[in-house]
Amino acid sequence: MSNQYRLVGLGNSELLAGLSALVRQGNALSAQILAHLVELEERLLPLELGFSSLFSYCVEALGMSEGAAGRRVTAARVCRRYPEAFQRVAQGDLHLCALCALAPHLTAEVASELFEACRGKSRRQIEELLAVRFPRPDVREQIRRLPSRAQCPPVTSQGVPAAGTVEALPAPTPQQAPMISANFSASPTGMTVPDRPRRTRELEPLSVDRFGVHFTADAELRDLIERARALARHRVPNGDLASVMKLMAASFVRQEEKRRFGIGAQPRHSHAKAEKLHRDTPAGSTRETTPPGGALASVAAATEAQTSATHLVRRSQHARYLPVKVRRATHDRDRGRCAFVAADGRRCNARAFLEFDHIRPLARRGGADAANIRLLCRAHNHLHARHCFGAMHLAAKIAAKKAYGALRSGRRDEPSSKPRKMKF
C-alpha cells in the first residue's frame, strides 16, 4: 500500500483539518462535474459518441455505478434549470441527494426558497420538510402475511448450540439454496445467523445462467398467471412458474415482433398485387384480353390499370407506411438494436424505444425501401432530425405534436354535439 494512504503518523488536529479540506475540495469537484455534465448534454455529445443517453455515457464510459450516475444526471439537470445550485453544491450547502429530492417540486417561484430551507440538511430531514410543504395522500391500506423467520438456538460459551434446542430442518432444494445462502451469513462463532434483509433488485444474479426475479403482482396479474398456468399444463405438467412465465414472455415477444417489425407476418395483398401488376405490365403495353366495347375500351382499361399500378407503387415508395418486408429486412439487418455508429466506430447498444428512421427524410422524398430505412433509438432519431432540419424546426415539430395530442384528447373528453351514425 502506498504511503499516502497510511495516516497513522498524523495527529488528531491534522487528521481533522485534512479531512475537512478534502471534503471542501470534493464539493467543489462535484459542482465542476455537474457543470461538465450539463455542457455534455447541451452539446448532445453522448449521442454523437454512440450512447443512447447521458446516463448511459456515465455508466459505460466514465465507469460510474447506476446509482451514482442517476444522482449526478438528475442533479445536473436541476443545476441547468437553476444555475444558483452550482454555487450551493460547491459550498457544501446542498448535496446530490438533496437536489434529487427537490427536483420534482422546484419551480422558478420557489426554487431559491427551497434551496435555502434545505441548506445543510440531510436527506431524511429534507424528505420531512417536503412532506410538510407538499403533503401526499395516505398510503394504501394493506395486510399481508410475512414468512416466519427461523429462530436462532441459544449458544453456549463454547460457541455450540445448547442441547435440545436444535430441530431437524429439511435439506434445502437446489432452487432454495441460493436464497438461503443470500439471506444468511456466517457469524464470528462459526454459526449461520439471519443477516439484515437486503434491498432486492428486479433481476438478481444467482449463478452463471440463473437469476432471481422480484416484482409485486396485483390481483389481475395473479389471475392471468393462474389462467396461463392452467392452460399450459399440457406443456408444463408440474406447473413450474418460471416455465410458464417463459412461455408468456416468448408469446409476447413473438406478437410484438410481428406487429412492429413484421417478423412472421404476411405482406399486404394490395401492395403485392400492385407490384406484380407493375412488374408484369411494362409501360406502353396492353393486355391480350379484349373487354366488351372493342379495342378502344381494351386500350383504355389497360392504360388505367397501368396508371393505377404505377401510382400504388410510387405511393408505397414514398409513404409513411412501411411494408412488412421492409420492416422485417431492416430488423434483421440491424439485429434489433439502434444502428447509429459514432465517428470512432462505436455503435449504440440501445434496444428500447426503437423507431424506424428514414436516412433521407421523407420530407425530402426519401424512399420507404430497406436501403433508406434503419432502426434508431428515440434519442438518436431526434439527433438525426436535428442534423437534417435544425434544432428550431425539431422543437417546433415536437411542440406541434404535443399541442395536437392535447387538442385531440380534449375533443375526446367533450361530448359530441352531432348524432353518431349507427352501423348495422
pLDDT digits (tens, 9 = 90+) for 373-407: 999 999 999 899 888 888 766 666 667 666 666 66
Which of 331, 345, 334 lies closest to 50 in space, CA to CA? 345
Burial of residue 76 (number of CB atoms within 10 Å: 0-12, 13-18, 19+): buried
Cβ neighbours of 246 (radius 10 Å): 13
The x, y and z cell numbers of residue 194, run together, are 439471519
Please identify which residue in the block is written with the cell numbers 405511393.
315
pLDDT digits (tens, 9 = 90+) for 267-292: 655 555 555 555 555 544 444 444 55
pLDDT digits (tens, 9 = 90+) for 28-51: 999 999 999 999 999 999 999 999
* Mean pLDDT, the chain, integer: 76
295 torsion bin: left (phi>0), alpha (psi -120 to 50), beta (else): alpha
- Hey, which residues does 212 pair with through a beta bridge? 204
Q: Which residue has the higher pLDDT, 214 or 222?
A: 222
Q: Which residue has the higher pLDDT, 331 or 144?
A: 331
Give ∠ CA 322-323-326 in degrees, rounded to 5: 85
pLDDT digits (tens, 9 = 90+) for 157-189: 444 445 444 444 444 444 443 333 333 333 333
User: What pLDDT band is residue 137 in, cutting at 50, 70 and 90?
Assistant: confident
User: What pLDDT, on the 0 to 100 scale, is given for residue 409?
Assistant: 58
Start-end of H helices in 166-239: 177-183, 219-231
Question: Reduced to 3 states, what is the DSSP secondary structure of residue 49?
Answer: coil
Q: Which of 31-40, 134-143, 218-227, 377-386 has the highest mean pLDDT?
A: 31-40
User: What pLDDT, on the 0 to 100 scale, is given for residue 105?
Assistant: 93
Distance CA 112, CA 102 (A): 11
Q: What is the amino acid identity at position 32?
A: Q
Distance CA 324, CA 260 (A): 9
Q: Which of 16-20, 190-194, 272-276 has the highest mean pLDDT?
A: 16-20
pLDDT digits (tens, 9 = 90+) for 48-93: 999 999 999 999 999 999 999 999 999 999 999 999 999 999 999 9
User: What pLDDT, on the 0 to 100 scale, is given for residue 141?
Assistant: 64
Mean local confidence (pLDDT), 132-158: 65
User: What pLDDT, on the 0 to 100 scale, is given for residue 235?
Assistant: 87
User: What pLDDT, on the 0 to 100 scale, is given for residue 166?
Assistant: 41
User: What pLDDT, on the 0 to 100 scale, is given for residue 126?
Assistant: 92
**What's the CA dihedral at 271, 274, 276, 281 to 10 degrees?**
-170
Which of 93, 81, 77 lies closest to 34 in space, CA to CA? 77
268 near 325, Cβ under 8 Å?
A: no
pLDDT digits (tens, 9 = 90+) for 311-364: 444 555 556 778 888 888 999 999 999 999 999 899 998 988 899 999 998 888
Residue 9 pLDDT > 70? yes
Q: Which residue has the higher pLDDT, 200 or 371?
A: 371
User: What pLDDT, on the 0 to 100 scale, is given for residue 119?
Assistant: 93
401 near 389, Cβ under 8 Å?
A: no
Residue 210 pLDDT > 70? yes
User: What pLDDT band is residue 214 in, cutting at 50, 70 and 90?
Assistant: confident
Which of 373, 413, 410, 381 lies closest to 398 in space, CA to CA? 381
User: What pLDDT, on the 0 to 100 scale, is given for residue 227?
Assistant: 87
Mean local confidence (pLDDT), 212-229: 87
